[in-house]
Structure 1
Amino acid sequence: MLRWMFRLLLLGAAGLAIYWVYDMSQGTEIPDMNVPGDLAAAYAEAEAEVGVPWPYLAAWHENGDGYESLDRRQILASAEEMRKAAGKGRLTDRDAERALHSLIPEADAEQVIALARSYRWAASPLAESYLFPFDADQNVDYGDTWGDSRTYGGSRPHEGTDLFAAKGTPIRSVSDGRIVSKGWNELGGWRLTIMDDEYPQISFYYAHLERYAEEIQTGTKVKKGQIIGYVGDSGYGPEGTTGQFAPHLHFGVYVRESTWSPMREAINPYAFLRAWEAAQADGKEG
C-alpha cells in the first residue's frame, strides 16, 4: 500500500514538473504599455461596444505610424475597417488576425499579431468591467508618473501611478481577486497585492495605505468594489513611518510571463485607470 502511494506521489510530482516546464515554455513577452491614456477609453469602446478586440487595433496603430496623430474617430474608423475585412459584426481574436492578414503585408501582420497577443495576456482588463479604485465623488488627482525618477532606496524608476487624495479616502478593489501579500514594505509602507481572479497572471498592487479595511488578510478573497484600505502616507522608512510625502495611493500592475512563472514584471497602469475612470463617468461600471 505504501509503495503504491509513493508511486502515485512520484507520478503526481512528475506531472506537475512536466506542466511547469510546458507552462514556462509558453511564456508571453510582457509588452511596454504604450497605449496613451487619452486614447484608452476609445480602445475600450472599440472592443466593448463596436466588437473589435482592442489589442489588435492598438498593435496595428503602434506598429504603423504610432499613436501621435490618432483620435477616437480614427480608432473607431479602423475598427470598422477590420470588421469589413473580417465580414463580421463582432470579431474574435482569431477573426481580427485574419482581418489583419488581409489588410497589411504578411510580415507586418505577424509583428502586429505578436504584439496584440502580448497585450491580450498582459492588459485585457483595459476594456473589461474593472473599476476605478475610487468612487466618483472622491476628489482624486493623478497623471502619468510611470518611469519618473525616485531616489529613496537608491535611484530607480517609478513602477506605477500615484493617485493623490485626502488621507483616509476609501480605496476600492478594482477586481475580484485574492490577497497574496499584505503588510509593511519599506518603499510601499502598508501595502496589499491582489491577484486577479479572471486573469491570475495579473496582480494589482496598492501601496502607502493609512490602514487596511476590516477582515483584510493574506489569502482573503475580495470582490470588485470592496473597500480594501484607506489612502495614507506610509512608507520610506522602518515600520510605521509616515509623513515623508503627500497622501496618495500608489497603484501598480504586475504581470507574469506564464501562469506559474515566479517572476513578475511591472507595466504602466495609467491607460487602465483612464479607461476605468471614463467608464465610471459614463455610468458603465461593471
Structure 2
Amino acid sequence: MLKWILRILLLLALVGAGFLIHDLTRSVEIPEMNVPGKLASAYVEIAKESDIPWPYLAAVDEVDQGYQEVTSKSIRQTAARIREAAGEKRPGEKGARRAIEQLFPTEKREKILRLAESYTWSAAPLGENYAFPFKKGAEVSYGDTWGASRSYGGDRTHEGTDMMAPKGTPVRSVNDGRVVAKGWNELGGWRLTIMDGDHPQISFYYAHLSRYADDIQTGAKVKKGQVIGYVGDSGYGPKGTTGQFAPHLHFGMYVRESTFSPTREAINPYPFLRVWEKE
C-alpha cells in the first residue's frame, strides 16, 4: 500500500513539474493593448458576473468588430451567447473556448483564441486585485497619453500614462513585487522598475520622481499599496535635472514574451489604471 502511495506522489510531482516548465518556457505574442479605457471596467465586471474570463469577452469584440459600437449591454449579450453555446451558466475558460469554437468560423475563431491567450499572459493584472498608484482622494488627473509624440532624445512615441499631481504626492506600488531597477535615467529622471510578484513576465515603471521612499533599494521586496516614492519633475537631462516639465508620474507597463526573454514590450497602462482606480 505504501509503495502505491509513493508512486502516486511521484507521478503528481512529475506532472506538477511539467506544468511549471511549460509555464516558464512558453512564449506568447505580446499584442497591443487595444481594450478601450472606458470599457475596461465593464469587461472585468461582466467577467466576474458570468465566469467568462475577460480576455475572451474582449477578444471577441476586438476581432469581430474592432470595439465599434461596443457597450456594457453588448458585452453582456456576448457573455449570454457564450453561456448558451457552452451550455453552462458559468462556463469558465474551458467552456468559453468551447463556445467560441462553435460560434465563429475557423479563421476568426483562431484569431480570437490566440488574442485571448495573449491577453491572459500580458494583461492579467486588468482583472486582478491591484492598487491604484495614488491614495484615494489624491489630487491627480490623467488621460490616455499612450503613443503621443515626444521629441526629447529624438522623435519617439510615449510608452506610458502621464499622471499629473502636485510635486511631493506619495506614489504607491500597484503590486507585490521586487525592485529590479533604481536610479537616474536621462528620460525618466529618478525612476523605479518593479517586477510583478504574481506575474514575473510583467514589470511596472515609475518615472520623474522627486525622491524615493525610505528602504527602497534594488532587490527590495515591496507590498501592494506601499509608498515607494514621490511625484516630481526630474529627467530630460544630466543627473539631477528638474523643472523641464510640470510635475507628474510617468507610469509604464512592460511585458516579456516568455519568463526568460531578454526583451520586453511596452503596453498601454491606461485601461488598467481606469479599472484599478474604480476598484
Name the CA shift for 1:89/1:191 in 2 (closer, same or farther; >3 Å): same
List gaps (5 residues or longer) in structure 1.
1-18, 280-286
- Counterpart of 1:247, as a letter, is P
- Counterpart of 1:109, as a letter, is R
Counterpart Cα distance in 1 of 2:200 and 2:29: 16
List gaps (5 residues or longer) in structure 2.
1-19
Query: Percent identity over the alignment?
Result: 62
Structure-2 residue corresponding to 1:163:
163
Structure-1 residue corresponding to 2:133:
133
Residue 218 in structure 1 maps to residue 218 in structure 2:
yes
2:99 is paired with a residue of what secondary structure? helix
1:56 is paired with a residue of what secondary structure? helix
Judge conservation of contact 1:207–1:249 (CA < 8 Å) in 2.
yes
Please state how far the C-alpha of 1:50 moved relative to its aligned partner: 2.7
* TM-score normalised by the chain length of structure 1: 0.87
Please state how far the C-alpha of 1:23 moved relative to its aligned partner: 5.7
Name the CA shift for 1:47/1:189 in 2 (closer, same or farther; >3 Å): same
Structure-1 residue corresponding to 2:253:
253
Structure-1 residue corresponding to 2:115:
115
Report Cα offsets for 1:88-127 as digits up to 9, x if no partner: 2333322211110111112211110001101111001111
Counterpart Cα distance in 2 of 1:228 and 1:22: 30
- Counterpart of 1:81, as a letter, is R
Residue 100 in structure 1 maps to residue 100 in structure 2:
yes
- Counterpart of 2:155, as a letter, is S
Name the CA shift for 1:257/1:169 in 2 (closer, same or farther; >3 Å): same
Structure-2 residue corresponding to 1:8:
none
- Counterpart of 2:257, as a letter, is E
Structure-1 residue corresponding to 2:79:
79
Judge conservation of contact 1:178–1:196 (CA < 8 Å) in 2.
yes
Judge conservation of contact 1:180–1:218 (CA < 8 Å) in 2.
yes
- Counterpart of 1:216, as a letter, is I
1:64 is paired with a residue of what secondary structure? helix
Please state how far the C-alpha of 1:59 moved relative to its aligned partner: 0.7
* TM-score normalised by the chain length of structure 2: 0.90
1:187 is paired with a residue of what secondary structure? coil
Query: After superposition, where does 1:1-286 map in structure 2 within 5 Å?
Result: 26-279=26-279
Counterpart Cα distance in 2 of 1:114 and 1:31: 10
Judge conservation of contact 1:42–1:76 (CA < 8 Å) in 2.
no
2:112 is paired with a residue of what secondary structure? helix
- Counterpart of 1:124, as a letter, is A
- Which shows bigger deviation, 46-55 or 145-154? 46-55
- Counterpart of 2:80, as a letter, is E
Counterpart Cα distance in 2 of 1:145 and 1:210: 21
